[in-house]
Chain A
Amino acid sequence: MPPSGSLQARFLEGDRRALARLITEVENGTEAGRAALRALYRRAGRARTIGITGPPGAGKSTLTNQFAKALRARGQTVGIIAVDPSSPYTQGAILGDRVRMQELSSDPEIFMRSLASRGALGGLSAATLDVIAVLDAFGKDTILIETVGAGQDEVEIAGAAQTTVLVNTPGSGDDIQAMKAGIMEIADVLAVNKADLPGADLLVSQLRALLSLLPDRAWTPPIVKLIATEEVGIDDLVTACDDHWEFLASSGRLREQREERARHQILTLARSQLLAGLMDDEGGGGRLDHLTRAVADGELDPHTAAREWIDQEALA
């Protein structure tokens, strides 16, 4: 047992301030954060995780807000992670998802945390999986993960959550947009939000036509029409996610997903640690600067330069 009064002890007692602080430590990759993850990881793995993704302005935050309320009405405790983009220039961020989730603050069984993407490009932040594990270990029954406004290629959520809801809205492009590879392929549930706008039925039929072209899969994503601001269709969405969960559990996909997630996370962490190791070895050596100039001058191609950098560092 962790010493009484310590951050971990308070976390295990259900202290929300300790939860908030641990998320910060984990997000910042501190030694305290890593130690806590080591100690708490066995407690994780019980929560259901549902990702909410889609283009900016599709209504992800509003939908997440309603989703959380619906889960609470079913007696579940809820964690919410909402990711917004960091500036590529200043690394600063405006995290604005709470604006659409005001009413949730009166319920202590809902814990909502905003994360900045901090340079990650897949629609989440590098620490998102770790933050999910912390909320999971805290005992949240369901964790909703709202991505950065996602376009076509921000598909990391599919690897992070058990169920991925893709939120579309009418009037956002022709059906060729939907045929492109990427984000359309990762949806387990297709939500058509703002379904009171013109074009909603057209979008539904386009999505249906698209699904009919997919090779036969064990799971066909249901299409759910919603008006999130008016709480219309939320129950259907929860039911669709429940159905997907049943499918995951009964088909053995749940275990497969867990292994895929574990492998991906190990590889990602190994990659970043190897690179960090190379940068540390580099120190003030200037080999990287030298190779940089050679590539910029056209004397060397980047593939050869990278190879040389790794080999030299390995020799050093």
Chain B
Amino acid sequence: MADRKIRVLVAKPGLDGHDRGAKVVARALRDAGMEVIYTGIRQTPHMIGEAALQEDVDVVGLSILSGAHLELFPAVIEACRDRGVAPENTLFFCGGIIPEDDIPALSDLGFRAVFGPGASTNDIVEFVREHVKAPA
């Protein structure tokens, strides 16, 4: 009866409406047997924090193509942290159009991986499976 499912929040902060990538990743994680909470485009950090809290997710994946990741992602992490969802207890990863120079800053924020254009969905699925925290 006990049935532990990996729950993943896939969210798109900011104002760009290009959600193809987020949808492809959501679908790949679904096909790998995970439960994916998909929240759609134009999410504020507050909305993402609330969804991560209420859905009790194991993983948060953010997609962004607007270039505002260094402005928005710290706010998203803070909104999550305010609600007890933090990189110490939840796996954070992100993807989109993100210059390599920015990756160290995102790692410092707590993102365990950054997937750019051309990343394979298999790699993303494997990454999540390997790094998801064991249930507390």
Binds A, one of B35-43, B63-71, B96-104, B113-121: B35-43
- The answer to whether residues A87 and B30 also contact, given A93-B35, A96-B38, A102-B40 and a CB cut-off of 8 A, is yes
Determine if A113 is an interface residue (Cβ-Cβ < 8 Å).
Answer: yes
Q: Is A93 touching B54 in the complex (CB atoms < 8 A)?
A: no
Q: Is A102 touching B47 in the complex (CB atoms < 8 A)?
A: yes
- The answer to whether residues A102 and B39 also contact, given A92-B29, A94-B26 and a CB cut-off of 8 A, is yes
- With beta carbons under 8 angstroms apart, the residue of A86, A99, A112 that contacts B54 is A112
Determine if A114 is an interface residue (Cβ-Cβ < 8 Å).
Answer: yes
Q: Is A28 touching B2 in the complex (CB atoms < 8 A)?
A: yes
B39 CB to nearest chain A CB (Å): 5
A15 CB to nearest chain B CB (Å): 9
Q: Describe A's contact surface by its main secondary structure.
A: mixed
- The answer to whether residues A95 and B37 also contact, given A17-B84, A90-B31 and a CB cut-off of 8 A, is yes
Residues of chain A with a CB closer than 8 A to B38's CB: 94-96, 98-99
- The answer to whether residues A91 and B83 also contact, given A98-B51, A99-B40 and a CB cut-off of 8 A, is no
Determine if A106 is an interface residue (Cβ-Cβ < 8 Å).
Answer: yes
> How long is the Cα–Cα vector from A24 to B56 in the complex, in angstroms?
7
Residues of chain A with a CB closer than 8 A to B36's CB: 92-95
> How long is the Cα–Cα vector from A79 to B14 in the complex, in angstroms?
27
- The answer to whether residues A92 and B3 also contact, given A99-B38, A105-B47, A113-B55 and a CB cut-off of 8 A, is no
Determine if B20 is an interface residue (Cβ-Cβ < 8 Å).
Answer: no
Residues of chain A with a CB closer than 8 A to B136's CB: 21
- The answer to whether residues A20 and B5 also contact, given A93-B36, A95-B36, A95-B37 and a CB cut-off of 8 A, is no
B7 CB to nearest chain A CB (Å): 8
Q: Which residue of B lies closest to A105 (CB)?
A: B50
Determine if A72 is an interface residue (Cβ-Cβ < 8 Å).
Answer: no
- With beta carbons under 8 angstroms apart, the residue of A29, A93, A102 that contacts B30 is A93
> How long is the Cα–Cα vector from A111 to B51 in the complex, in angstroms?
10
Q: Is B46 touching A106 in the complex (CB atoms < 8 A)?
A: yes
Please give the number of chain A residues whose Cβ is less than 8 angstroms from any Cβ of chain B in the complex: 31
Q: Is A16 touching B54 in the complex (CB atoms < 8 A)?
A: yes
Residues of chain A with a CB closer than 8 A to B26's CB: 94
Q: Is B30 touching A90 in the complex (CB atoms < 8 A)?
A: yes
Q: Which residue of B lies closest to A116 (CB)?
A: B35
> How long is the Cα–Cα vector from A102 to B53 in the complex, in angstroms?
14
- With beta carbons under 8 angstroms apart, the residue of A86, A92, A105 that contacts B31 is A92
Q: Which residue of B lies closest to A15 (CB)?
A: B84
Residues of chain B with a CB closer than 8 A to A95's CB: 35-38, 55
- With beta carbons under 8 angstroms apart, the residue of A17, A28, A99, A272 that contacts B53 is A17
Q: Is A21 touching B33 in the complex (CB atoms < 8 A)?
A: no
Q: Is A105 touching B51 in the complex (CB atoms < 8 A)?
A: yes
A107 CB to nearest chain B CB (Å): 9
Q: Which residue of B lies closest to A115 (CB)?
A: B35
- The answer to whether residues A29 and B83 also contact, given A17-B53, A92-B31, A93-B36 and a CB cut-off of 8 A, is no
Q: Is A28 touching B46 in the complex (CB atoms < 8 A)?
A: no
Determine if A237 is an interface residue (Cβ-Cβ < 8 Å).
Answer: no
> How long is the Cα–Cα vector from A118 to B5 in the complex, in angstroms?
10
Determine if A276 is an interface residue (Cβ-Cβ < 8 Å).
Answer: yes
Residues of chain A with a CB closer than 8 A to B3's CB: 28-29, 118
Q: Which residue of A lies closest to B26 (CB)?
A: A94
Chain A residues near B (Cβ < 8 Å)? 16-17, 20-21, 23-24, 28-30, 86-87, 90-96, 98-99, 102, 105-106, 111-114, 116, 118, 272, 276
The 10 closest A-B pairs by CB, nearest first: A92-B30, A105-B50, A20-B56, A99-B40, A29-B1, A17-B84, A92-B33, A24-B56, A105-B47, A95-B37
Not counting A20-B53, A87-B33, A95-B55, a sample of 18 additional A-B residue pairs whose C-beta atoms are within 8 angstroms of each other reads A16-B53, A17-B53, A20-B54, A21-B136, A24-B56, A28-B3, A28-B4, A29-B2, A90-B30, A90-B32, A91-B5, A92-B35, A93-B30, A95-B38, A98-B37, A98-B39, A99-B40, A118-B3
